[in-house]
Amino acid sequence: MDRYYKTGEKINGYSILKIIGEGRYGIAYLASNSKYEKCVIKQLKKRMLHDTREKLFYEEKILKALDSPKFPKFISKFNDGDREGYILEYIDGKVFEDLLTVDKYEFSRDEIYKIGWQLLELVEILHNNGIVHRDIRVPNVILKKNKDIALIDFGLARIINNKRYVKDIDYWFIGDFLIHLYYSSYKVTDSQDRPWYEELDLNQEEEVFLKKLMNIKGRYRNIEEIKEQLEKIKNIN
């Protein structure tokens, strides 16, 4: 059984403030130190440590290799004898999941294109470093106050090997992510169950763009091809 940290407990000089998330692999807490600097404490679950210890520490290896405000910095590891994990930089902002489900924010086309471009830029950084994220979803992308975005949760990230871990999976996730943004302004007009490319009010270039990202009709060979198509869409609109 995993023993959870309580509010006020300290880890490597950081005091637990609250739980901010939990998944199959770990429990995430918000914490701060005596200088009121916030961080994220990621406690790895015992069962996962037992079954897949080597895979769980990919996140540490990958974040140590990156140096960009688009990704959280790795601060340190911890092990109190009963629980272990690591401490990550806290990135201030709102995850897109909350923007969509709590704030009910409706993204404009211009905003969607800008966010799409930023996603491509940060994924390009990862791919240039030989990394594939594999989990670019609305709970894992943060919109910062300056409107820049950051990508978190590298628990499923891996080193590209062109076999199981390939760039295309990140393209698929970008497509799925953007479809969520398109749906933010969608108004239900009937009860008929239809695929997204029939429900959403997409122009032809947008439909081609999203279908190719998701390998429904054709595929992109690289980020440059995707950027060219997105630029074409921006110019049309």
Percent of the chain whose predicted confidence (pLDDT) is above 70 = 100
| pLDDT number for residue 226 | 98
Mean pLDDT of the chain: 94
Percent of the chain whose predicted confidence (pLDDT) is above 90 = 84
Domain of residue 39, CATH code:
3.30.200.20
Specify if 24 maps to a domain.
Answer: yes
| pLDDT number for residue 114 | 97
- pLDDT tens by residue, 63-117: 999 989 999 999 999 999 899 999 999 999 999 999 999 999 999 999 999 999 9
Specify if 130 maps to a domain.
Answer: yes
Confidence of residue 131 (pLDDT cuts 50, 70, 90): very high
Domain of residue 151, CATH code:
1.10.510.10
- pLDDT tens by residue, 206-222: 999 999 999 999 999 99
pTM: 0.93
Q: Which domain holds residue 27?
A: 10-89
| pLDDT number for residue 192 | 82
- Which of 35, 56, 89 finishes a domain? 89
- The string of DSSP letters for the chain reads -PPPPPTT-EETTEEEEEEEEE-SSEEEEEEE-TT--EEEEEEEPHHHHHHHHHHHTHHHHHHHH---TTSPPEEEEEE-SS-EEEEEE---SEEHHHHHHTS-----HHHHHHHHHHHHHHHHHHHHTTEE-----GGGEEE-TTS-EEE---TT-EE--SSSS-THHHHHHHHHHHHHHHHTT-----S----HHHHS---HHHHHHHHHHTTSS---SSHHHHHHHHHHHHHH-
Specify if 65 maps to a domain.
Answer: yes
- pLDDT tens by residue, 19-62: 999 988 899 999 999 999 999 999 999 988 877 777 777 889 99
More confident residue, 52 or 135: 135
Q: Are residues 75 and 112 in the same domain?
A: no
